């Protein structure tokens, strides 16, 4: 399955079965998580077999059930944390999808996680993980013209990147970002609102992985 197929297959899943994640898949996730941490400076943590975080009123309010595994995205406090958390968290999400697992970005509808958060650090976000009861449904997207400037002669890699960005999960499906081509480089800008910087990281991840081109 290529990257665009993975992005199309990934949907937010909130209800999970009690099937445990196999040892081999855990090892692959752990190794990929460590590589992302080394590259980014984050301290993302894979948490397995720990249902307490989602055994709360807030989790039930968010319609989560059966969540026993999750990814805690932890990093040093700073203005770039949210964007970095979105970018590398989504890389882990797509790796999980490749392994046949389901995920969902979770902002506030969870309890206290088991992650280790050191001095000067912050848990930016949590991502639920496991085998979903269902595979989720495709989210509605704004038309490409509302999200990006696309001229008739836009290069194919740019058009591919825009399509991938449209598949990126965003908070409340708000899609508050804009994409433009400046010379031979794409620039993606976040709008205003809750979690838009985190969303920006997720969108940049999709664009870069699908197009093969770095963005501003």
Same domain, 103 and 14: yes
- Given a cut of 60, whether residue 17 has pLDDT beyond it is yes
Same domain, 52 and 110: yes
**Residue 139 included in any domain:** no
d(CA 148, CA 146): 6
Q: Look at 210 and 194; give whichever has higher pLDDT.
A: 210
Question: Could you tell me which of 91, 77, 86 has the C-alpha nearest to residue 31?
Answer: 91
pTM assigned to the model: 0.95
d(CA 60, CA 50): 16
Please report the DSSP string for 76-145 in residue order. Answer: E-STTHHHHHHHHHHHHHHHHHHTT-EEEEESSSS--------TTEEEEEEEEEE-BSS---PPP---HH
d(CA 187, CA 35): 26
Is 102 in contact with 135 (CB distance < 8 Å)? yes
Same domain, 34 and 102: yes
**Residue 119 included in any domain:** yes
Same domain, 84 and 153: no
Same domain, 193 and 112: no
Which stretch, 49-63, 129-143, 156-170, has highest mean pLDDT?
Answer: 156-170
User: What confidence tens digit (pLDDT) does each residue in 67-98 have?
Assistant: 999 999 999 999 999 999 999 999 999 999 99
What residue numbers bound the domain in which 73 lies?
Answer: 3-130
Same domain, 21 and 99: yes
Which pLDDT score, from 0 to 100, does residue 63 have? 83
User: What confidence tens digit (pLDDT) does each residue in 56-73 have?
Assistant: 765 555 689 999 999 999
Range scoring the smallest mean pLDDT among 42-46, 58-62, 63-67, 158-162: 58-62
- Among residues 103, 130, 157, which one ends one of the domains? 130
CATH of the domain at 63: 3.40.109.10
State how many domains the chain has. 2
d(CA 71, CA 81): 16
Is 130 in contact with 68 (CB distance < 8 Å)? yes
d(CA 102, CA 11): 8
% of the chain beyond a pLDDT of 90: 82
Which pLDDT score, from 0 to 100, does residue 111 have? 82
**Residue 50 included in any domain:** yes
Same domain, 54 and 148: no
- Among residues 96, 130, 164, which one ends one of the domains? 130
Same domain, 9 and 102: yes
Please report the DSSP string for 5-53 in residue order. Answer: HHHHH--B--BB-SPPPPHHHHHHHHHHHHHHHHHH----EEE-S-GGG
């Amino acid at each position: 399955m290529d990257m665009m197929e993975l992005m199309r297959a990934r949907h937010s899943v909130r209800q999970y079965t009690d099937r445990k994640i196999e040892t081999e898949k855990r090892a692959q996730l752990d190794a990929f998580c460590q590589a992302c941490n080394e590259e980014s400076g984050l301290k993302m943590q894979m948490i397995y077999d720990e249902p307490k975080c989602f055994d709360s009123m807030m989790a039930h309010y968010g319609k989560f059930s059966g969540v026993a595994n999750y990814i805690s995205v932890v990093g040093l406090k700073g203005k770039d944390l949210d964007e970095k958390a979105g970018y590398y968290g989504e890389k882990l999400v797509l790796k999980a999808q490749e392994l046949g697992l389901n995920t969902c970005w979770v902002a506030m509808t969870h309890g206290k996680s088991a992650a280790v958060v050191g001095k000067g650090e912050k848990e930016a976000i949590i991502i639920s993980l496991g085998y979903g009861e269902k595979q989720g449904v495709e989210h509605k997207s704004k038309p490409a013209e509302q999200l990006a400037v696309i001229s008739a002669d836009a290069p194919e890699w740019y058009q591919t990147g825009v399509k991938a960005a449209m598949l990126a999960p965003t908070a409340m499906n708000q899609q508050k970002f804009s994409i433009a081509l400046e010379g031979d480089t794409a620039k993606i800008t976040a709008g205003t609102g809750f979690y838009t910087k985190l969303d920006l990281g997720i969108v940049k991840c999709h664009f870069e992985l699908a197009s093969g081109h770095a963005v501003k």
